[in-house]
Structure 1
Amino acid sequence: MLKLDGVSAKYGKYLSIKDIDIDVVEGEIVVLLGANGAGKSTTFKTISGLLKATSGKILFNDVPIHQTAPEKIVQMGIVQCAEDRKLFPYMNVEQNLMMGGYIHRKRKAQLKQSLNDVFELFPILYEKRNEAAGLLSGGQQQMLAIGRAYMAKPKLMLLDEPSIGLAPLIVEQMFESIKNINQEGTTILLAEQNAFAALSIAKKGYVYENGQIALQGTADELLSNQEVRKAYIGA
């Protein structure tokens, strides 16, 4: 479904990612592991078209997208859920969700069904649907951010650090929800520092170091790798 072939990208003169090769097969959950600043978010921004690749190719269902405008990429079926959530704090929960379904705004029945799907996935959001997004707890805000991305009914969802700053119980619920979204037919590319939780639901993973991929393998291979365990699992 998604292929990055030798992708590099810069912020100004700073080379943030270099020669990135990633393959995501339809239906998979694939995780990008690495410390802050390793290049995971830059990779997402480059896939989304928010940052242009300086070299290499990005293919989505065999169609090159590395020169495509971000709004066109969303219409093709790739939706990103940013690390810092980017909610509209003064709009209520339901209004935030409806913004996520903007590309389907002329399909009223589909929007209503998508809204029901999100409320089924995150029942607390139904209870809070008339409350301002800025008044929600951190966990609820993350649910809203994921729910808003899901409203677009993406083929591929890019989830950037969904567990950051959340309590362990909420993290467990979050990853269960991500697994459910995947089982409903959405392919997931997940950037995470919580290696154990991410690899427990992923098919395979890539480990970033200093803007490059240092290691890759199946989830089981990475979980059993002593370097990965020492760096990201603490064992």
Structure 2
Amino acid sequence: MLVLKDLIVSHGQEDVLRSVNLTVEEGELVVLLGANGAGKSTLFHTLSGLVRPTSGELSFKGNSLKGRSPSQIVRDGIVQCAEGRMLFDQMSVHDNLKMGAFTYKRNKKELMRQLDYVYTLFPDLVEKCHSPAGSLSGGQQQMVAIGRALMAKPKLLLLDEPSLGLAPLIVEQMFSIIKEINKEGVTVLLAEQNAYAALSVSTRGYVLEGGRLNVEGTKEELLQNEEIRKAYIGA
């Protein structure tokens, strides 16, 4: 579904991503591990059309992403749930969710069908639907952020640090929902520092360090890799 070949992304004179080669097959849940500053968000912003690559190839379902605008990429089926949630705090939960449906906002029937799906997936949001998004707990805000991305009906969902700042119990709930989203047919590329939680729901993963993909493998291989355990999981 997704192919990156020799991807280089530069900020000024510095290469932030260096010859990245990555593939995601349709139906997979792939995790991208890496510390802060490793280049995970830059990679996602490049896939979303917010950052232009210096060189290399990016293709989605056999078609090049080069030159595609962010809105065209969303219409193609790549949708990002950004790090930090990026909600409209003063707007209601319901209106935040509707913002994700901009590609079909005049199709009221489809809009209501997708809203029903999101509220079924996140029942905690039903009673909060008219509350300002900024008034919700961190976990509920993350539900709104993921729900808004799902409103765009993604084929490939990019999740950037969805567990950031959440309590352990909420993290467990969040990853359970992400696994369910994947089971329902949405391919997921998940950027995370919480390696153990991410690998527990993934099919395989990559490790991004200093802008390079240094390690890749199945979740079992990554969990058993001593260096990865020390760096991301602990003894």
Scaled to the shorter chain, the TM-score interval is over 0.9
Residue of structure 2 in register with 1:109 after alignment: 109
Cα distance in 1 for partners of 2:29, 2:133 equals 28
1:47-77: CA deviation from partner (whole Å, max 9, x where unpaired):
1110001010000001000221111100100
Who is 2:96 aligned against?
96
Asked if 2 retains the 8 angstrom alpha-carbon contact of 1:10 and 1:16, the reply is yes
Q: Shift of residue 101 of structure 1? A: 1.0
**Residue equivalent to 1:68:** 68
- Partner SS, residue 131 of structure 1: coil
C-alpha RMSD over aligned residues: 0.7
Q: In structure 2, what is the Cα distance between the partners aligned to 1:105 and 1:133?
A: 20
Alignment correspondent of 2:122: 122
Q: SS in structure 2 opposite 1:49? A: coil
1:69-101 deviation line (CA, Å, top 9, x unaligned): 111100100000000111000000000000011
SS at match of 1:57: strand
Q: Which runs of 4+ in 1 moved over 4 A?
A: none
Aligned twin of 2:159? 159
Q: CA deviation at 1:196?
A: 0.4
In structure 2, what is the Cα distance between the partners aligned to 1:219 and 1:12? 35
Q: What amino acid is the match of 1:124? A: D
> Secondary structure in 1 aligned to 2:201?
coil
* Offset at residue 209 of structure 1 (A): 0.8
Superposed, which structure 2 residues align to 1:1-235 within 5 Å?
A: 1-235=1-235
Distance 1:120 1:109 in 2: 17
For these two proteins, the number of residue pairs brought into alignment is 235
Quote how far apart the aligned CAs of 1:12 are. 2.4
The one-letter code matched in structure 2 to 1:214 is: N
Q: Secondary structure at the match of 1:166?
A: coil
